[in-house]
Amino acid sequence: MKSKDPFMFHDEAHSMTLTLDLGSSHMDENRPIAEKEILAENLRLLYVALTRAKNRCYFIWGRFNKAETSAPAYLLHSPESWKERDIVDATAKKFAGLSDEDVLSDLRIAFDKAGGSIGLSDMPVEQGRAYSPLPVEEDIFSCRKFSGTIDRQWRISSFSSLVSGLRHSDELPDRDAIRLPDAYDQKDFQELDTEEPVLDIFSFPRGAKPGTFLHDVLEHLDFAEREPAVMKALVADKLREYKFESYWLDIICGTITTVLNAPLDPGSEDLKFSCLHNRDRLSELEFYFPLKSISPEKLERLFQANMGRQPGYGGSSSAHAADFRFPGGPPETIERLQFSPTRGFMKGFMDLVFQWRDRFYLVDWKSNFLGSRIEDYGQASLTLAMKKELYILQYYIYTLALDQYLRLRMPGYRYEKHFGGVYYIFLRGVDSEMGPDFGIYRDLPAPEWINELREALIEKQG
């Protein structure tokens, strides 16, 4: 390395920071460090060269010109004090003073330490014989042929994959895609197109992103918190995170407050989300259960055999019980079940599971837009939406999963005693003045039906 050439080194005085010295006042002090790093790299390359031979390696060494700072010079003729700061300069000075006999003497020391793994000899002056390698038969390579079978039916399924008709569909925490209802008339479009649209929960944007936003708020909100500023701070933070305008703050907080204080049971004022403490709830509860082989035809036969059976007991709304028939609903509902036969595991996420007075409840938040009036979120509209979107099939699967979870983890658990029911909360439609029949869909599936589903869907283990 020339005295004025720039160089790079790792500065030991500054946490080994990689430094380029272009001519600093400390250049003479830094150069030995850079030369030492170059020597270390050359030692690595020498090691690679000497250890890659397959059968034999010849290494020729002597007092070669300009070899005084090489890796072999340091390795075979190290200076007496190898801890010197300028180790490269010390190696060069020692090597320059060696005679041929001194070089050979150092090589004999290395030979003696090798324990027979290396040989040492003078370089021959006579011409050697040409090496003729033994003939080697060339291997003929061929691609192995796969003779096994792939079980195309085995996979991880989900509610999403069943209703979408896709072979593979990752089940993520449920979010509501944008959908315009059949009853959404031209008048509604005209209202939204006015220069000064009404800002309320009905005009809040629709689709997967708003749905994810609302789920996120409800997942992280303490339902029992009595200080409004805490909710406002959370909602404001989530609005910024999802890039919604700040003028939605009061509307979202008002909607959530209404939902939290709405009675979930028409016959009781006690059961409200605002009465739940964090210790009594689980958000985004993920589940798996081993799945028997199922097909659209098998599911249709299973539900067809139960047509006419009341879907709930002990608390289902009479309007729901009288109106519900599955799969004898709209033909388009059944036609969407077009998935390939599948088995393996069923996977999903429950938006919320909570415990209230020794009973467990299943909740799913829905941001679906069913219309721009509270009247569009009555029980008839909710039941129609539940059928069209196959949410009824969804909560049967989720109820079965929760029931299986509690059966395995809770001593003495019985479905009839400990399962309280299912709530699908259509967030835009809950209204304190209209009462509990708006925006809240309820069901308590019969225990016999859940047992039939278990026998039909869950693969017994062991």
- For residues 168 and 257, the model is more confident at 257
Model confidence pLDDT, tens digit, residues 271-321:
999 999 999 999 999 999 999 998 888 888 887 776 555 444 444 443 333
Instruction: Let me know the angle formed at the C-alpha of 420 by 414 and 426, rounded to the nearest 5 degrees.
Output: 145
pLDDT at 312: 45
Residue carrying the six token digits 């938040």: 365
Model confidence pLDDT, tens digit, residues 360-404:
999 999 999 999 999 999 999 999 999 888 899 999 999 999 999
- Return the top range by mean pLDDT from 57-61, 168-172, 221-225: 221-225
117 contacts: CB under 8 Å, gap ≥ 6: none
pLDDT at 300: 80
For residue 335, pLDDT over 60 is answered with no
Supply the Cα-derived Rg of the chain in whole angstroms: 39
Structural domain boundaries in the chain: 7-113, 154-457
Lowest mean pLDDT among 180-184, 218-222, 310-314: 180-184
Do residues 333 and 145 lie in contact, with contact meaning Cβ atoms separated by under 8 Å? no
Say how many CA atoms lie within 13 Å of 288 toward its Cβ.
Answer: 7
Model confidence pLDDT, tens digit, residues 111-145:
888 888 888 988 888 887 887 878 888 888 899 99
pTM for this prediction: 0.63
For residue 24, pLDDT over 70 is answered with yes
Average of pLDDT values for 154-174? 67
Q: If phi over 0 gives left and psi between -120 and 50 gives alpha, with beta otherwise, what is residue 450?
A: alpha
pLDDT at 325: 41
pLDDT at 388: 86
Give 206-260 as a DSSP string.
-SHHHHHHHHHHHHH--TT---HHHHHHHHHHHHHHTT--GGGHHHHHHHHHHHH
Phi–psi pair at 217, nearest 5 degrees: -60, -50
Name the band, by pLDDT with cuts 50, 70 and 90, for residue 4. Answer: confident
Lowest mean pLDDT among 182-186, 376-380, 397-401, 417-421: 182-186
- Encoded tokens for 361: 């409840």
- For residues 228 and 29, the model is more confident at 228
Percent of residues, the chain, with pLDDT higher than 90: 48
Residue carrying the six token digits 């096994």: 148
| Mean of the per-residue pLDDT values of the chain | 84
pLDDT at 13: 80
Do residues 386 and 424 lie in contact, with contact meaning Cβ atoms separated by under 8 Å? yes
d(CA 429, CA 442): 14
pLDDT at 196: 62
Average of pLDDT values for 327-342? 59
Model confidence pLDDT, tens digit, residues 224-279:
999 999 999 999 999 999 999 999 999 999 999 999 999 998 877 889 999 999 99
Which residue type, as a one-letter code, is found at position 214?
L
Distance, C-alpha 83 to centroid of its chain:
51
For residue 425, pLDDT over 90 is answered with yes
Which candidate, 314, 455, 449, places its Cα nearest to that of 393? 449
Which candidate, 97, 387, 117, 367, places its Cα nearest to that of 256? 367
pLDDT at 180: 38
Name the band, by pLDDT with cuts 50, 70 and 90, for residue 202. Answer: very high
Q: What dotted CATH number matches 154-457?
A: 3.90.320.10
Which residue type, as a one-letter code, is found at position 290?
P
Q: How many CB atoms lie within 10 A of CB 402?
A: 22
Residue carrying the six token digits 């026998």: 455
Average of pLDDT values for 38-45? 92
β-bridge mates for residue 440, sequence order:
425
